[in-house]
A and B are shown apart, each in its own frame.
Chain A
Amino acid sequence: MLLEQVEYVRPGTVGEALELLAANEGAAPLAGGQSLVNVLKNRVASVALLVDITRLDELRRLRRAGDGSLEIGACVTYDELDRSEEVRERHDVLADVAGHIEDQQIRSRGTIGGNCCLSDPTNNLPPIIVALGATMHLRSRRAERSVPAEEFFKGYFLTALEPGELLVSITVPPLPKGSGAGYCSLALAADAKAIVRAAARVTLAAGAATVEDARVVMARLAHVPVRAAAAEDGLRGATPDEGSVRRATASAGEGHEPISDSHGSGAYRREMAPVVAKRAVLQAIEGARR
């Protein structure tokens, strides 16, 4: 499979990258390339200039801020998330999700920024990023802004990024006290694409007798990750047991018209949504209890 004619450039700093992105129509940042290169091979999108950002140190940083949140550079790879002690300690579910994306080769190259910026509905990270309440930091030649993850994903292969803008990093706040995270994919096969998936963050009230707060995020019901509002409402104040969780998440598939494709029908996706939502929430509750 062979690409169309394209220009390539590898800037030395983020500033240079932003200049290049601003100055060249049809320029696109090239991160891990594990999806973009396929897009180019299939010639489904035309790119005039590839701006290789994989070696920019600023984008490769992963550190813990003073408030306990993680600041993850856009070019941090899945492998680095999986193997980072900082991530393991604070967000083991995020590390696990990254560590089960497809295979070692893809995890060596694929980046958290690329996974989010492509906004491919099959991608693993967007729902967990949203569930954890992350913030996306965007920068252009002229300005810098931050967008909540929940507002970053706009549509099928569409994000809040404006032309010339680059996702620089993602801040993942620490889990609130008494909280846990969960994630469940109904996948075609081991570590393969998901038919439907859910991510959750659950906070238990003091004493762990009731759920204080919950975020339940569904993927593959729509083009972007969506909050299951009714499930979240149903969980607040509920007892954190399987029966309550099952009741609360029963509606997780409602209100969407998921697509039918070779991996599953829309009807199946809708029917499976409560199952993965329940499992993600139960995992989160278990985490919260630890």
Chain B
Amino acid sequence: MSEQGTSHYIETVVNKTSYRRVVRSRQLLVHFLRDDLGLTGTHIGCDTGNCGACTIIYGGRLVKSCMLLAPQADGVEIETVECLAHDGTLSALQQSFHEHHALQCGYCTPGMLMSATYLLRQDPSPSEEEIRRGIRGNVCRCTGYVNIVRAVAAAAAAGAGGSPAGVAAAGEGAKRSAR
């Protein structure tokens, strides 16, 4: 239950940190993350929910944060790209993106990583077709998706989806951080 009005007190957990904030009704969740919490890894690309640059994991589900309002996040646990690495060690997917040159400008990358992370949680060993379906909602203009698909497949093969968090380090490759 949330009271009727144009501003709302919310409690939310983002990347395992609790926040209590007052947000506006018309504030998009992506603006709350970027402007209020300073989590600028989540990007805005299209404004119409087509490009996926703003993709986050919200209550365990993959969503586009430009298609939700900030007050809706009350009581919801959120994960953004900023949670993927631990103490400077990249997740297996991040590392695989690095090694396979799966990013160029890097603007779609945070959303793409969240979709790939979610995909491997659902299905630790997806086929190429399933990988392509899993990132269908994330537009990349630089890579033709070729190396992204390769990177996700390689991370899956290395067991990236096998651990409970789906983002934990897997194999030796994951322990080296990107330069």
Contacts and interface: CB of A to CB of B under 8 A. Distances in A.
A and B touch in the complex (CB under 8 A): yes
A4 B27 CA distance: 10
B25 A8 contact: yes
A3 to B, nearest CB: 4
A10 interface: yes
Contacts of B72: 10, 52, 54
Given A6-B26, A54-B72, A106 B2 contact: no
Interface string B15-27: 0000000000110
A6 B136 contact: no
A38 B63 contact: no
Interface stretch (A65-73, A97-105, A264-272): A97-105
A41 B47 contact: yes
Interface stretch (B48-56, B92-100, B149-157, B158-166): B48-56
A135 to B, nearest CB: 29
A68 B115 CA distance: 36
A8 B52 contact: no
B85 interface: no
A37 B67 CA distance: 6
B1, B6, B26 — which one has the most chain A CB atoms within 10 A of its CB? B26
Contacts of A230: none
B137 interface: yes
Interface of B: 1-6, 8, 25-26, 28, 47-49, 52, 55, 58, 61-64, 66-69, 71-72, 74, 115, 118-119, 133-134, 136-138
Closest 5 CB pairs of A and B: A103-B137, A8-B25, A1-B47, A10-B2, A9-B4
Given A16-B1, A190-B136, 15 more contacts: A5-B25, A5-B26, A6-B6, A7-B6, A8-B69, A9-B3, A34-B49, A37-B66, A41-B48, A54-B72, A103-B52, A105-B49, A105-B63, A109-B67, A109-B68
Interface of A: 1-12, 16, 20, 30, 33-34, 37-38, 40-41, 49-50, 52, 54, 79, 102-106, 108-109, 190-191
